Structures are given as structure tokens and as C-alpha cells.
Homo-oligomer: A and B are copies of this chain.
Amino acid sequence: MNFQQLRSVREAVRQGYNLTVVAEVLHTSQPGVSRQIRELEDELGITLFERAGKRLTGLTAPGALVLPIVERLLLDAENLRRAAADFAGQDHGTLTIAATHSQARYALPPAVRDFSASHPGVELRLKQGTPQQVAELLLAGEADIGVATEALAGYPGLVALPCYQWTHSVIVPPTHPLADDARRQLTLTLARLAQFPVITYEPGYTGRSHIDEAFQRQGLAFKLVLSAMDADVIKTYVELGMGVGIIAAIAHDDQRDANLTAIDARHLFASNMTRLAVRRGSFLRGYVYDFISAFASPLTREVVDTARSEVSGSVFDI
């Protein structure tokens, strides 16, 4: 039994049982992967993969049973390397942050700037994706930290920590009727808002669910002319006069967005909690804690470790 065999098995599952792809991912030859898997099967004395003729089609029952153990072995191998690297080159390494556009664009910059200044030896990588993709990157070990408002709390393999709460704003061109309302100190209502075409986030993104819920609760329907994955795109189309935008308040900057009027909408939509997540069971290098604290100061190393040790248990079950 060796780690290359285990990697081959894990990757075969991840890559949909296509050993040719596995070979590419692992930078080796396809017959090599085939051999690794068969040798492991021989040593263990069980067939891990269902085969239709020659091609692999899925896991056998024994395969499905041992896969979690294989994953844990590879996770711990990675943990070992990280723990060692943390001692070896204390302040050299890589920090990969997976985040949604909104977080990467509006929430992370101060922390990234400060971290980068205080940890010049750490290479920072920022990966963007949907909240689901953020979670998957974490689970696959391809990101150290994930930041998103949605989804993260729903994965048992992740530890999600609340970072900050935020609310929505409505943005309109200065000439828009709603901008007039605001100047006259009129309180914005959902009914009033529903009179205009709306531009906001796609479902599954950045508090979109709370927007839908608010309208539904009042039995109102809003006309969605455009949905986008990030506030910058939304702002662009609001400027073009296509509709009123509903975005995260943090995504509006009075100075930079002088050509748009922002109207506070915290009374209309439920507030949102942005969470930071790490993979349960992953060793975190010292500077990972540093970044987390820089991003959300209440999340000290101690707080993070406490949350990490509050195990649901299921992850380590066999």
C-alpha cells in the first residue's frame, strides 16, 4: 500500500472513473494509474471499482466503504506536510482563498492587503466561484479558506464560522423616481420597489434568497429584468437605466459610485451572514489563522480551533 495508489483511487472517483483523465491530473501515464489501482485491489483482496467490461463505472460496496478511509489517509498526509512546512519555513507558503465575487471584490481586499504586507513570503491565490464551488474547492483540498454568504454552513465536512452581517441597498440612477423619494425622506417599501424592474443577484448568490422571501411574504411579485453574479455587473446595468438594483450595501461606495444613488434597504430584507469556512480535519498553518483574524478579528486562533474541535463526529466515522 502506498500513497500513489491511494491518490489514484481518490482521483478515479473524483474524475468520474475515467483513468485517462486521472493520469493527466496526476501527471503520469494511464497504464500506471490502472496498475496502481489493480495493485491496491490485489493487496487488499477486494475489488474497489465496478467494471463494465474493461471500463470503470463506479464503486463497489467495499469500495464505497473504504473510500472515506482513503480520503482520510490522503488528508492526513497533506496535514503532515503542512504541519512540517509550518515549522520549516515559518512564513513561506501559499494561501488559497476561495470566495464569491462579492467577497473577493468588496469584503476581502482590506484583509488581503494587510495580510500581504505582513506576510511577504506567502503567495496568495484567490479563486472565485459560486458558493457551491467554494465549498467543493475546500472539500477537495484546493483551497484553504472559503468565504461566502450562502451554502457554506450546510456541509458537514466544513467548519463554517460567522464573519459579519450585512444588509441590502437599493441602487438607482440619481434621476430615478426612487432617488426623488429618498430626497423627500420617503421610506422605501417593497410595494413601491415592486413598481420598477429589478436587477439583482442570481439565485444561490449573496443573499438572493432573502430578497425572494421578502417579496413572497408580502405576496408581491417583482419583475426581474436581469440577474448577475456580482454587484459590478448589476451596477453597470442600473447605470444604463434598465432597472433598480438590489445589492449588498457593502458593494456600494459613495465616492466611487457617485453616479448612483444608494438607498438603505435593511428594513426590507432579512440581514445576511457571511461565513468563512475551512475543511474539517485540515491542519491550518499559522498564517492561515493570521489571515482569518485579519478578515474577522473576533475569529482568533482559539475561537477557530474551538469550532474545529466541535466535531459532528460523522467525518471521522468509518
Residues on A facing B (Cβ under 8 Å) = 1-3, 44-46, 61-62, 65-66, 69-70, 72-73, 76-77, 79-81, 83-85, 87-89, 281, 283, 309-311, 313-314, 316-318
A and B contact pairs by CB, cutoff 8 A, 12 listed: A1-B81, A44-B84, A44-B85, A46-B88, A62-B83, A66-B80, A66-B84, A73-B76, A73-B77, A309-B317, A311-B313, A316-B316
CA distance A200 to B281 in the complex (A): 48
* Residues of the B chain whose Cβ atoms lie less than 8 Å from the Cβ of A61: 87
* Residues of the B chain whose Cβ atoms lie less than 8 Å from the Cβ of A309: 313-314, 317
CA distance A45 to B88 in the complex (A): 6
Copy number in this complex? 2
Main secondary structure of the interface of A (DSSP, over half): helix
* Residues of the B chain whose Cβ atoms lie less than 8 Å from the Cβ of A69: 76, 79-80, 83, 283
A84 with B70: CB separation less than 8 A: no
In angstroms, how far is the closest chain B Cβ from the Cβ of A144?
Answer: 14
B80 with A70: CB separation less than 8 A: yes
B311 with A1: CB separation less than 8 A: no
CA distance A84 to B64 in the complex (A): 11
In angstroms, how far is the closest chain B Cβ from the Cβ of A143?
Answer: 19
Query: CB-nearest residue of chain B relative to A69?
Result: B80
* Residues of the B chain whose Cβ atoms lie less than 8 Å from the Cβ of A80: 1, 44, 66, 69-70, 73
* Residues of the B chain whose Cβ atoms lie less than 8 Å from the Cβ of A44: 80-81, 84-85, 88
Query: CB-nearest residue of chain B relative to A2?
Result: B2
Among A69, A88, A281, the most chain B Cβ lie within 10 Å of the Cβ of A69
CA distance A53 to B163 in the complex (A): 50
CA distance A83 to B85 in the complex (A): 32
B313 with A87: CB separation less than 8 A: no
CA distance A3 to B278 in the complex (A): 27
In angstroms, how far is the closest chain B Cβ from the Cβ of A264?
Answer: 43
